[in-house]
Amino acid sequence: MQITLNKAKLTVPGPQPLPIFGRTALLVRFVKDSIGLSRHLFQTYGSVVSLAAGGGTNLYSPQPNCPGTVFAYGAENVREVTTQHEVYYKFPLTGGLYRQRNDSTRTETLKHFGVGLFGVNSNTHRQHRQLLMPAFHKQRIESYRDDIVAITQSVIEKLPINQPLNIAEVMRLLTLRVATKTLFGADIGEEGSNSATLLQKIGTLLGSPAIAILPFDLPGLPFHRLLTLMAQLDEEMRTLIRRKQANATDGGDVLSMLIQARDAESGLGLTEDELLGHVSVIFAAGHETSANALTWTLFLLSQHPDIAADLLDELETVLQGQPPTVENLQQLPLLERVIKESMRVLPPVPWNARVTSQPTALGGYDLPQGTEVFVSIYHTHHLPEVYPNPEKFDPQRWEKYEPTMFEYNPFSAGSRICIGAPFAMMEIKIVLAMLLMQYRLQYLPQQNIDRQGIIVMVPKYGMPMLVHHQDRQFAQGLGGVRGNVREMVELPE
């Protein structure tokens, strides 16, 4: 996160920054509440806005020249950004920190961590995506069903009955275990758990505003801690990759398949650094987003008892108390609609960030090369002309309406649509089905439910709930919700 002074000026309208610290103040406001600030900007200036009039801000781009930060929403803007593969580039999940990758031996891990498909563009992106596709083939994804069921059962059978817990943390643990098993395989035991824990700690630090404000490798600072953790992970993962390469067999996990993947024309595989990049991205994207989708869905069901009752009826009728098979998942239309509507109203990933590789135009405004563009998935999902009563949680709307991928894009759209979307949907469906048949989760109004995050949207203070055996008393825990989540979805008082 930084202020930049460039010759190319943004002409996109936006708020006039105050002298000296004005742009920094706007950057901090966006990091603290990206959805709240952008809502105000969109209402004031229209569907394409600048974080600061004249530009000069830099939130995400690692490029040396960033004219400024632009926000946009709406189907047409989504289409423009997501379909012009050669105009709107993506960069690693580390964002602006990526520019420090050559600063020292300690920053060298930034060359691959969080890179994966996010950090490559043009032909390289197409080649890498082709290499990754077999790992996300329908049959391959379905082969993970048994692992997801076993892990889900082992987590939920330990839930404390009639005791408060943070369901967000439970979902994070569950999806962490699923990601570890499917990505690294069962053969690595505790080593896999340690790698997963390191990845999770790194992900938490990357979301810290202090990292963006003070990106200095000095003892005591978060960035120093981040680089230390990345070095530990780097060493562990290289050891694991080399061991799997020596075995030269497909162990059923994603990493095994990626090691063996070869380009059809050149016969070349992924380098060790490229493997590290893909593994870190698949893991981070795969478990945090699913955990948040599950958490928000359980919260919404706790405040909509009629929908929760209808969903349980469907689950019990089709599944008869058993975990869903792959075939069963096609026989649960209400479950599908509930998840789709949850990800519409409270999308786990609220933004889609890009950087212009050349001068272009968006919404009638010229964008210089290097402009960072954040397309709002959240605000696009709340357009009243596309979704009547957009703040209403209404799974029924999906019975008759099928929006375009530019109107509904929780997994992005275009050639960069999330490669793991089918896996995520299968995982979310299995976990919800098993959890809801066994338990009723009652919301506890202990603290505000406030949104937080830019890469993923999480409940800032967690999601306190009480676990009951499934007794169908869905009206218990209704209402009493405080916090800015009430700006996003209609909830009972």
- The domain of 151 spans 2-487
220: Cβ contacts below 8 Å, ≥ 6 apart: none
- 488, pLDDT greater than 50: yes
Question: Looking at residue 407, what DSSP letter applies?
Answer: T
CATH of residue 479: 1.10.630.10
Half-sphere exposure of 50 (CA within 13 A, CB side): 25
Higher pLDDT, 54 or 6: 54
Q: Which tokens in the block code for residue 189?
A: 């035991």
Q: How many domains does the chain have?
A: 1
- 266, pLDDT greater than 90: no
Taking CA atoms, 151 is separated from 55, 289, 292, 322, 356, in Å, by: 48, 18, 18, 15, 42
At 186 the pLDDT is 56
In a domain, 156, yes or no: yes
In a domain, 99, yes or no: yes
Q: Rounded distance, CA 441 to CA 461, Å?
A: 18
Question: Looking at residue 485, what DSSP letter applies?
Answer: G
Task: Name the band, by pLDDT with cuts 50, 70 and 90, for residue 446.
Answer: confident
Higher pLDDT, 208 or 41: 41
pLDDT tens sequence across 100-129: 999 999 999 999 998 999 999 999 999 999
In a domain, 328, yes or no: yes
Question: Looking at residue 186, what DSSP letter applies?
Answer: G
What SS3 state is found at 353?
strand
pLDDT tens sequence across 449-483: 999 988 889 999 999 999 999 999 999 999 999 99
Which residue has tokens 């968006």?
A: 362
In a domain, 492, yes or no: no
In a domain, 10, yes or no: yes
The alpha carbon of 212 is separated from its chain's Cα centroid by a whole number of angstroms, namely 19
Task: Name the band, by pLDDT with cuts 50, 70 and 90, for residue 374.
Answer: very high
Give the pTM: 0.93
pLDDT tens sequence across 139-197: 989 999 999 999 999 999 999 999 999 999 999 989 988 988 888 875 333 445 677 77
Strand partners for 465 = 165, 443
Task: Name the band, by pLDDT with cuts 50, 70 and 90, for residue 250.
Answer: confident
At 190 the pLDDT is 43
What is the arithmetic mean of pLDDT over 75-97?
Answer: 95
In a domain, 477, yes or no: yes
